[in-house]
Amino acid sequence: MHYAAKSIPARDRLIFALDVPTREAAVEWIDRLGDAVSFYKIGMELLTSGDYFAVLAELAARGKKVFVDLKFFDVPATVASAVKGLTRYPVHFCTIHGNDGMMRAAAAVKGDIKILAVTALTSLDQHDLDDLGFQVDAEKLVLSRAKAALAAGCDGVVSSGLEVAALRREVDHALITVCPGIRPIGNTGDDQKRTLDVAEAFAAGADYIVVGRPIRNAPHPRAAAEAMVATIRDVVGDS
């Protein structure tokens, strides 16, 4: 199946992981990155600050797109209630775990939010999947969950960049692919095990990447983000 790249501005394809413990730290990062980043992921660490929705509102007020990455996992009715509640906010993406009942329930109430199903966390390698009792390799697991997600009415998946090429070959091109765990070439020493670099991920067919530590830990974070956007533009162009 031929994959036609979606019309997405290069800058919007980079999602910065705003993994910080407080609103103050979040605002510092938003100020520091300025117009180099237009899309932010807010997840569980920020949730426990008590200011999660204040940060969401701050991002929206500045014209940023928001990815709520809370990976909802519960009985379908509860997941549906959580997703329906999020429709009151300016949320672009939301993650849920790839269970058929949860996915169908979330898709039925998603409104304008694009629902992304989590396939296999990028911190898991084949040894971890074996320990969890999965009788398939990571690629087959991701493909199976991606096909189920689209059938259930989800908009896309979160997956390692290592599985994106297979997704593009075997799953409908309408699928949105969001790839976390993007790391510089030769990266070692953190909890991400299944990774690609920026150019590799987009060459394989990624629509978006999520980047945290490689920007946060860079000597010049804004310059690092701008360099990533330039790489994206070189690989897939701009829209």
- Alpha-carbon distance 137 to 5, whole Å? 27
183: annotated binding-site residue?
yes
How far apart are the C-alpha atoms of 196 and 77, rounded to whole Å?
A: 36
- As a whole number of angstroms, the distance between CA 130 and CA 166 comes to 21
Nearest-angstrom CA–CA distance, 47 and 149: 26
Q: Is 75 annotated as a binding residue?
A: yes
55 is in an annotated binding site: no
To the question of whether residue 41 is assigned a binding role by annotation, the answer is yes
Query: Is 135 annotated as a binding-site member?
Result: no
Is 65 annotated to bind ligand?
A: no
Q: Which is catalytic among the residues 71, 84, 147, 193?
A: 71
193 is catalytic: no
Judge whether 87 is annotated as a binding position: no
The active-site residue out of 12, 51, 64, 69 is 69
Torsion of CA 107, 17, 191, 106, to 10 degrees: -10
Quick check: is 197 catalytic?
A: no
Query: In whole angstroms, what is the distance from residue 174 CA to residue 81 CA?
Result: 26
Q: Is 69 annotated as a binding residue?
A: yes
Consult the annotation and say whether 19 binds a ligand: yes
Does 69 qualify as catalytic in the annotation? yes
Determine if residue 9 is labeled as part of a ligand binding site. Answer: no
Indicate the angle between helix axes 138-152 and 100-108, nearest 10 degrees.
40
Does 147 show up as a binding residue in the annotation? no
3 phi/psi in degrees, rounded to 5:
-100, 120
Burial 206-219 (b: 16+ CB within 10 A, else e): bbbbbbbebbbeee
Does 195 carry a binding-site annotation?
A: no
213 is in an annotated binding site: yes
Task: Write out the catalytic residue numbers.
Answer: 69, 71, 74
- Binding-site positions read 19, 41, 69-78, 122, 183, 192, 212-213
- Binding-site positions for substrate read 19, 41, 69-78, 122, 183, 192, 212-213
